[in-house]
Amino acid sequence: MASPPIAGVYTPVPTFFKNDFSIDYESQINHARFLHENGIAGLVIMGSTGEAAHLTRQERASVIKAVHEALPQIVIIAGVAQNSIQDTIDEIDSVKNAGASYAVVLPSCYFGASIKQEGIVDFFRTVADKSPLPIMIYVYPGVSNNINVEPQTVARLSKHPNIVGTKLSYGDVAHHTQVVCDSSENFSVFTGLGQILLPTLSVGCCGTIDALSGSFPKLFVKLFEHYQSGNYEEARKLQFVACKGEEIVVRFGVVGIKKLVHSRGFGESYLGRVPSNHDIDAETWNSYSGTIKLLESTVANL
């Protein structure tokens, strides 16, 4: 039976591009090193934040390989978002060969609401049977045609020996609680939303895979550590700051995430590939300057 990822804070990293939209491997590695040095437990590469949908299979593997070869001690969870079973298996083969230790897999979602929970079970079981890597179930209705893998479905799938965890990227704490309660012991539940890290830790989640941690890793690492040590008041204070910061992620998505990371000194360009290649207007971005200063001052004092 495969082992799940260790508890902690994981960062879904952006993919760095140069001004001509070619991949900026140097920035990718420097950013990964920064996260590792600040206590991040591992990286999710080629997830939603990584714009995997805008890269070729060869490019996706090349980014994973570059980070793995430069920093082999870092645990890499690779995002996988194909619709056919064989294409999913082929993608997992590719990321494994590049250096990933796990794959976090979206459900096949092209047909949306017509897909039944039994079909989702069949999809993940078939993939897990054939996958060369342990897999995690990625539940993110916002990027998967509004498909929600229901808590009881996740619990059923948790019994498969090659399915070791889940990332829940939606804000229903009751669902997080049900998944923790009903899943097998060898199964790690991570929230994809840092704004609910403390509440979800309190019901048994193992940590978070959160995009804001790419800019302010210490904020989330210290929050997690305070909770683990029983320093709940300090954890609560940091959770309040995290909630403010997450407003930027929610409003601006990938470009906002990359703009924040760029402000921390990483990347030649913060724009994504087409169609995520347009900047946020200055007036709107500057309206969050107080929030950014709060994040910076909080982290500076940790």
Residues with a known catalytic role: 138, 167
* Average of per-residue pLDDT across 203-219: 98
Closest by Cα among 106, 74, 68, 90 to 6: 74
Q: Give per-residue pLDDT as tens, 13-35.
A: 999 999 999 999 999 999 999 99
Across the chain, what does the average pLDDT equal? 97
Q: For residue 275, say if its preceding peptide bond is cis, omega within 30 degrees of 0.
A: yes
The single-letter code of the amino acid at 276 is S
Does 39 fall in a domain?
A: yes
Residue 2 in any domain: the answer is no
First CA to last CA distance, the chain: 39
pLDDT, mean of residues 261-285 = 95
Domain assignment present for 110: yes
Of 88, 46, 39, 92, nearest in space to 67 by CA: 46
Structure tokens at 236: 């609560």
User: What is the pLDDT averaged over residues 80-89?
Assistant: 97
User: What percent of the chain shows pLDDT beyond 70?
Assistant: 100
Beta carbons of 152 and 110 less than 8 angstroms apart: no
Instruction: Kindly state whether residue 96 falls inside one of the protein's structural domains.
Output: yes
Specify the CATH number for the domain of residue 179.
3.20.20.70
98 domain residue, yes or no? yes
Q: What is the pLDDT of residues 145-195, one digit of tens each?
A: 999 999 999 999 999 999 999 999 999 999 999 999 999 999 999 999 999
Decide if 177 is inside a domain. Answer: yes
The total domain count for the chain is 1
Assign 113 a pLDDT band (cuts: 50, 70, 90). confident
**Contact (Cβ atoms closer than 8 angstroms) between residue 110 and residue 72:** no
Model confidence at 214, in pLDDT bands (50, 70, 90)?
very high
40 is in an annotated binding site: no
Q: Per-residue confidence at 221, pLDDT binned at 50, 70, 90?
A: very high
C-alpha 241/C-alpha 264 separation (Å) is: 17
Instruction: Give pTM, 2 decimals.
Output: 0.97
Annotated binding residue 284 = no
Give a yes or no: residue 213 inside a domain: yes
Residue 5 CA: distances (Å) to CA of 90, 98, 110, 279: 22, 18, 29, 35
| Domain contains 3 | no
| Domain span holding position 116 | 8-301
Six-digit token pair at 252?
């601006």
